[in-house]
Structure formats: C-alpha cells, structure tokens
A and B are shown apart, each in its own frame.
Chain A
Amino acid sequence: MRKFWCAFFVFWPIVAIIYSLISSLVPSLGWWFPGASVTELGQRIDNLFYLILYIVTTVFVGTQIAMGYVLWRASHSKDERAWFSHGSHSLEVIWSVVPSVILLFLALYQMDVWALFRVQAYFPKEAREAPVAEVTARQFEWRIRYPAPGKKLQLKPQPDDLYDVNDLHVPINRPVMIQLRSGDVQHSFFLPHLRVKQDAIPGQIIPIWFKAEKLGIFDLTCAELCGWGHYKMRAQLSAEREVEYEAYLKKLQADQNYDGHAIPSAVAKKDE
C-alpha cells in the first residue's frame, strides 16, 4: 500500500505533462481551445491563460513530485523520523509571500487586457460610437436587431430596423460593438472562437465589442444554463467583408419590405 501512494502522487503529474504535450503539439485534436483566436484581443486573453497555466503546472508538477519523493523515501526507511515543522515562522512567511507576489503580479499584469475587454471607456472609439446590432437572448434563441443601412442603432426599436434570428453578421477587420440584452432569464453570449463570453442579464443593456480578423462562420452559443432548451440556443456569427456585410443588410431590408411585388432576394423567394 505504501508503494501505491507513491505511484499515485507521481502518476498525476505524468498525466498532466502528457496531456499538455499532446494538446500543444497536436492542436488539431481540439483538446484545448477551438483553434487560434480570431481576434487579437482573444490572442492576448489566450496568452494570459497560458501564463497562468504555466505557473500552475509548474507548481502542481513540483508539489506532486516532492510528495512522491517524500513518500518514497519514507516507505524505504523505518528508522528515519518525520521533521515536525508545525509553527515554523519562516516557512509560513515563505508560503504566504510567494503566492501573494504571484497573484499580485497576475492582477497587475492582466489589467490592460481586462480594461480593453470589459471597460466601456477603453473600447475602441469607432466601436463605441456605432453599435452594429442589438442582440436579445431569449429562451431559446438569439433575436437580432440591426439599424437600417446608414443609420445608427437607437435604444428603442425604429420603424426601419432590420430583424434576424440566430444569425449575427459583422464586418471583419473593424471593431464592432453589440448591445446585449435578455428577454427573460440570464443567458450568456459566448463566441468560443473569438474568446468572447458575456452574461446577458434581464433589465440590463451590456455592450460587448470584438474585432474579427478572419472570414468565416463561427459558433454563437449560450454559456449559461438558461432552462430546459438551453442546448437549442445555437446560433452563428458570420464574419464577412464590408461589402458582403452591406449586401446582407440590403438583402434583409428587401426581405423585410417584401410585399409580393418587389423583386425579392433568393431567400424571400424560397419562403414563398
């Protein structure tokens, strides 16, 4: 049984090292993040994550190996007595000060990323001044309201606003801001590929900004258990070129004003 505990404590750091090695050497397995971040800010968030991961891994592997070593040594000699360290002042100072320094460093080091991600005053001015859409989470879908092309998003719905559901379109290479709301309970707006996650809270309008730097369709899911249909809140973010984005809004506008006579777009035609 003595040997078992030695092996037990050494086993986990080995698993941790193998897992990190495989996931960093073969990122295509998707054991880690869903690919590299699509935004620059997301990359910086990833870097923060990795920094913490390295610190934690070092501490974890170190302590486990130390523990394994101590048990191993003790299991071999019955004569050696344990060193009774309880109440050692210097030891207590060490294990209080070292983690404090690490935590304080992390707290200061992440401040600019946090401010950029979360504090509205630090958002890019371009994004702050012209939110592209209002996204309302509701059991169990995402309802999206865009301003009419060339207009600004207003707090209250306007007669010429454009509506879509579960498909948020944004232009790439430009910071965009959306206003997040909830129609019923708490939801969470989660763009895993962009490393954006923000709770939607009833009664609040919460701004989120991001700058997609890659074309594509990315998952938009709900990351807060919001009811029995939580899994149904699977939408998509279409990051597209400025021209495509404008064309999308134009198409939405044409569809929304469709009266059976105007030339409908392909989608409207299919609906009829």
Chain B
Amino acid sequence: MSARVWRLLVVVLAGAVAGCAEDASQMRFAQNADIAKPVHRKARAVVEKTLEEHFGTPLDSVAWLKLPVNYGKTEGKVKSVDGQSLVVDFNAETSDLESLKSPELNRSGLLFTSGANQGKSFLLADYDASEQSLETLTALESVPAEGDQFVVAGQNLRHGRKLYARHCQHCHGINGDGDGTTAKYLNPRPRDYRLGIFKFTSTNKDTKASRDDLKRILSQGIPGTYMPAFVPMLKENELTVLIEYVRWLAMRGELEVQLLKDLKNDYAADRVKKEAQESKASTSEIEKQIAKQLEEYVANPTEGLAAFIETVTGDMVLAWEGAETAGTVIMPPVPRVPDTAESRERGKALFVKTDGGKCINCHGPTGRGNGFQTEDFQKNDATGGFFEKRGLHDSWGEQIKPRDLTRGIYRGGRRPIDIYRRISQGIKGTPMPPVAATVKPEQIWDLVNYVLSVPFESASPKAAKTNSVAGQPSEHGNAN
C-alpha cells in the first residue's frame, strides 16, 4: 500500500482511540471563597492545611474517625510485624476489601481495638492485597503483637465519592458547595452543604438532618426543584454510602466555615494595612508578626488550633449524632384533626392572623406567596445590615420566595406529617419560623388541613366546572 494509504490509516486509528485513555482528573477542594476573602492569606493557608490533614483531598480522602460518619469498617488482626509494615488477616465476614485495589485504601483510618496500641488510630499509607500487608503513614506508637485486633475504615467514603462524582457533583460541586458546572443554570440553586444545614428534615429546629431525611430526599426527589429522585437507579447500599459522603462533605464544610470565622477575628485580611497606619511599623514586620502569632496558635496545645478544632468537632459530633436519636424526630402529640370544613376555616383564621403564626406576612392572604415581607427589605444577620435586594433571603444569602401554596407542589413532602413538621419546626436555613412554642398541636393540624386545601379553593364557582373527564388538555400546567 502506498504511503498515503498508510498515513490515512494512522490518522483513522488515532482518531478511533483518542479519548480512550483514563483521564487523570485534577479534582481539588476549593476554599469557601465568600468566607475566606476577609481572612489573611496566611491564616487561610492554616485552614487549608488543617482540612487537608483531617479530610484529605477528593481523590485521597481521610477517614477521620472522630466524626460520626459510617466510613465502612473491616475488622482484622495482625499476623506478623516487619518494621513499619504489618502482615494482616482480614475477617472474612466483615471484609469487602478484596474488591478494592490498594490505592483505594490510602489514608484509610486504622484503629487498634486490642493490644499495646489499643484505642489509637493511624492513617494507612499502603495496602498490598497479594501480600496482605499494610503500611501506616505515621509511625506506630508501639510495636503491635501478633493477634492484635484492628479496624480499617474508609471504604464507604471511597465508594460514596465515586457515586457522588457521577451523579451529584455536576450540580453540588466537588466541595458540596452547590456550585458545580451545571449549578449556574438552576433556580433554585443546588444546596451548599458547607453550612451543615439541610432544609427538609423530620428533626426539631435545633438538630441536623438525619440519615433518614437525606435518604428520603434522595429517593423521593424534591418536586419544584431540579433535585430528581434517584431510586430505583441507585440501590440501597449505594444510597447509604452516598449519604455518608454527603454528611462527611457537610462536616468538612462546617469545620472550614468555623475555622475561617474564628481566624477572621485576629487575622483579618486588612489587618496589615490597619496596623501599618496605626503604628507606622513596616508591612513586612507586621507580616512577620502575623506568621509568628499563627505559628504559636497552631503549636499551642491547650488554647490554640488543636483545642478549637476539638471544641468545634465536639459540637458537630453532638449535633449530627443527635439527629439520629429518636427524641429529636418531631412526632405530633395528637393525631391529625379530621379534615373538615370547620378545621380548614380555623386553620385559615390562624393563617391570616398577623399576631399568631404570621403565615400571611410571607405567604400572603390567599397563600400565593406574595405577603408584604416579600416586598420589604430584610435584615441580614450575617452583616447586621440589610440585604441589598427586597424580599426574603435564606442562610446561604440567596433570595427566596415563600411557597405559593395554590400550586400543590410540596418540596419537603406532601404527607400531613411533613407539613406539620415544617409548620411546627420551621424550615432550617430559611425565614420560615418554628411556631411550636406559640401554636398548639391541634391548631397546627388545622393549619395543615387548610394548607392542603388551598390548591382546591376555587377562585370562582365557574372554575370548578372545568374539572372535566381525563383526556382533554387542561388550561393549567401540571401541578405535580
């Protein structure tokens, strides 16, 4: 064949295999820009380093055993010790390590449950599946003996990360910051997990979302938003690991926000400028001083960074664990008040009462979501001033609309109990307030009955007639 034919063949073949190589993606956790900006860059670096240490990177995540995350555990025992590497035996019943390649286990947590190292956890550097040998990243404190029991954790995180990258990341972002590549096309915006707040929960107003709440959202979706239902595409075990990964991201974000907020007090970005003006010291001197102070802060074991992380994570652990306890789930003390015309009337009377639940202020007199508060300037708790734009804002600083109750779309679920919980405990991260302190359970049920009846309140008697037999197009869009 001529050279021309050969050249053509090479081009065709090259074209055919182009893009087949595995893409080494450069995923990294970005810093929370809005909160980090007013913080001095050296302090920001401390935050990044802390997060890297406790959470790792997206592709090399750390199973920080302190957090109430089910990282997935595999039990095993030491067979022999060879310097830094341990030859081990995994428990067949609890092990799903065989299916994992060794890089998957990097930086998993290794926790000894017996022997000299009991209660101590280390990070794994390497796992060789054929030799069944483990290597730790940090030196073992004491040499383990043969037969010492340990637990390796982290598989769920890795499995969860893969699922998250495939199904969630393009909206919710690598960090869980709700700023993925498709996020800018969406209204409402995807949830930013980093405040640790999820809106639709069954728990009381002071508690986090429970695993079951997240599972419900994943399996039911959120009508009226871009969040679709992921069942039956995702199987039960996939939901489980995905939820753990999302909780882990939320906790990572929370720690980041708390650290940045704390460091902002002493290490504001404009500190150098301010001090230079006040004391007439040179900027490089102040920079040096900041570096020294930070160094001391990081090194101080009792009042420094370590202590702060200890406090913040302690609170976080309590809050997330609390959501899993039965006591925090809101169960109405009385059964639903029968859904009668009288009950709805009572509910409506409460709804429009300006000194009761104040529903009318935002949702409007007919529940259309056009109350006067939507036209007013609202206080911004974060800055102490007012928001630039009129209308309600959520904790993420986004403008939000009160629900138009006439449309029959219930984002957090349409069961009476879902609506009861939202009225009773409010919606976390939004101006929807809890009314449980001022409104009696029976009255909340009246409100529920009224709210559920709003889409069917005909504006005029004529409208009721258009409810014809199926088969003809309706004049309204689907309210589903």
Q: Do these two chains interact?
A: yes
Q: Mark A14-58, 1 if CB is under 8 A from B, else 0.
A: 000000000000000000000000000000000000000000000
Min CB distance, A211 to chain B, in Å? 19
**Residues A85-123 near B (CB distance < 8 A):** none
**Residues B308-361 near A (CB distance < 8 A):** 329, 331-332, 334-336
- Cβ of A258 and Cβ of B416 under 8 Å apart? yes
Please pick, from A155, A166, A207, A260, the residue contacting B332 in the complex, using a CB distance under 8 A.
A260
Min CB distance, A139 to chain B, in Å? 7
Q: Mark A237-266, 1 if CB is under 8 A from B, else 0.
A: 000000000000000000111111110000
Query: Could you say which of A59-67, A69-77, A191-199, A227-235 contacts chain B?
Result: A227-235
Name the CB-closest residue of B to A141.
Answer: B228
Please pick, from B170, B202, B474, the residue contacting A272 in the complex, using a CB distance under 8 A.
B202
Which A residues are CB-close (under 8 A) to B275?
none
Q: State the main secondary structure of chain A at its contact with B.
A: loop
Given contacts A152-B469, A166-B229, contact A145 B453 (CB under 8 A): no
- Which of A138, A141, A229, A235 has most chain B Cβ within 10 Å? A141
Given contacts A139-B228, A157-B408, A183-B477, contact A259 B335 (CB under 8 A): yes
Please pick, from B202, B453, B480, the residue contacting A143 in the complex, using a CB distance under 8 A.
B480
Q: Report the separation of the CA atoms of residues A140 and B472 in the bound assembly, to the nearest whole angstrom.
A: 25
Count, A-B residue pairs, CB within 8 A: 116
Which A residues are CB-close (under 8 A) to B372?
none
- Cβ of B335 and Cβ of A165 under 8 Å apart? no
- Cβ of B221 and Cβ of A141 under 8 Å apart? yes
Min CB distance, B330 to chain A, in Å? 8
Please pick, from A152, A156, A258, the residue contacting B415 in the complex, using a CB distance under 8 A.
A258
Q: Report the separation of the CA atoms of residues A155 and B233 in the bound assembly, to the nearest whole angstrom.
A: 29
Give the interface size bracket for B toward A.
35 or more
Q: Report the separation of the CA atoms of residues A269 and B223 in the bound assembly, to the nearest whole angstrom.
A: 22
Please pick, from A159, A181, A260, the residue contacting B331 in the complex, using a CB distance under 8 A.
A260
**Residues A116-134 near B (CB distance < 8 A):** 131, 134
Which A residues are CB-close (under 8 A) to B415?
255-259
- Cβ of A157 and Cβ of B455 under 8 Å apart? yes
Given contacts A159-B456, A271-B216, contact A154 B467 (CB under 8 A): yes
Asked if A236 is an interface residue, CB under 8 A from chain B, the answer is yes
- Cβ of B221 and Cβ of A259 under 8 Å apart? no
Asked if A190 is an interface residue, CB under 8 A from chain B, the answer is no
- Cβ of B470 and Cβ of A139 under 8 Å apart? no
Name the CB-closest residue of A to B226.
Answer: A139
Asked if A170 is an interface residue, CB under 8 A from chain B, the answer is no
- Cβ of B414 and Cβ of A157 under 8 Å apart? no
Name the CB-closest residue of A to B472.
Answer: A155
- Cβ of A154 and Cβ of B469 under 8 Å apart? yes
Asked if A136 is an interface residue, CB under 8 A from chain B, the answer is yes
Q: Report the separation of the CA atoms of residues A165 and B410 in the bound assembly, to the nearest whole angstrom.
A: 14
Asked if B420 is an interface residue, CB under 8 A from chain A, the answer is yes
Name the CB-closest residue of B to A267.
Answer: B219
- Cβ of B336 and Cβ of A259 under 8 Å apart? yes
Q: Report the separation of the CA atoms of residues A261 and B52 in the bound assembly, to the nearest whole angstrom.
A: 47
- Cβ of A259 and Cβ of B417 under 8 Å apart? yes
Asked if A150 is an interface residue, CB under 8 A from chain B, the answer is no
Min CB distance, A164 to chain B, in Å? 9
Which B residues are CB-close (under 8 A) to A255?
415
Which B residues are CB-close (under 8 A) to A271?
212, 215-216
Which A residues are CB-close (under 8 A) to B170?
228
Name the CB-closest residue of A to B182.
Answer: A228
Name the CB-closest residue of A to B476.
Answer: A156
Asked if A185 is an interface residue, CB under 8 A from chain B, the answer is no
Min CB distance, B478 to chain A, in Å? 5
Given contacts A141-B221, A236-B232, A259-B420, contact A183 B478 (CB under 8 A): yes
Name the CB-closest residue of B to A228.
Answer: B182
Which A residues are CB-close (under 8 A) to B430?
none
Which A residues are CB-close (under 8 A) to B416?
257-259
Given contacts A157-B408, A256-B414, A261-B335, contact A165 B469 (CB under 8 A): no
Asked if A188 is an interface residue, CB under 8 A from chain B, the answer is no
Please pick, from B223, B230, B336, B469, the residue contacting A155 in the complex, using a CB distance under 8 A.
B469
Min CB distance, B381 to chain A, in Å? 32
Min CB distance, A149 to chain B, in Å? 17
Please pick, from A207, A232, A256, A262, the residue contacting B335 in the complex, using a CB distance under 8 A.
A262
- Cβ of B329 and Cβ of A183 under 8 Å apart? no
Which B residues are CB-close (under 8 A) to A181?
478
- Cβ of B453 and Cβ of A232 under 8 Å apart? no
- Cβ of A163 and Cβ of B414 under 8 Å apart? yes
Q: Report the separation of the CA atoms of residues A255 and B226 in the bound assembly, to the nearest whole angstrom.
A: 24
A-B CB proximity, top 8 nearest: A259-B336, A261-B335, A141-B228, A234-B233, A165-B229, A140-B228, A260-B331, A259-B416
The 10 sampled A-B contact pairs (Cβ below 8 Å) are A156-B467, A157-B455, A205-B473, A256-B414, A257-B415, A258-B415, A259-B416, A261-B335, A270-B212, A272-B212
Additional pairs, 10, CB under 8 Å, beyond known A141-B228, A166-B232, A203-B473 = A136-B478, A154-B467, A156-B474, A157-B479, A167-B232, A232-B167, A234-B233, A261-B335, A270-B212, A272-B331
Point out residues on B near A: beta carbons under 8 Å: 167, 170, 182, 202, 212, 215-216, 220-221, 223, 226, 228-233, 329, 331-332, 334-336, 408, 414-417, 420, 445, 452-453, 455-456, 466-474, 476-480
Point out residues on A near B: beta carbons under 8 Å: 131, 134, 136, 138-141, 143, 145, 152-159, 163, 165-167, 179, 181, 183, 203-205, 207, 228-229, 232-236, 255-262, 270-272
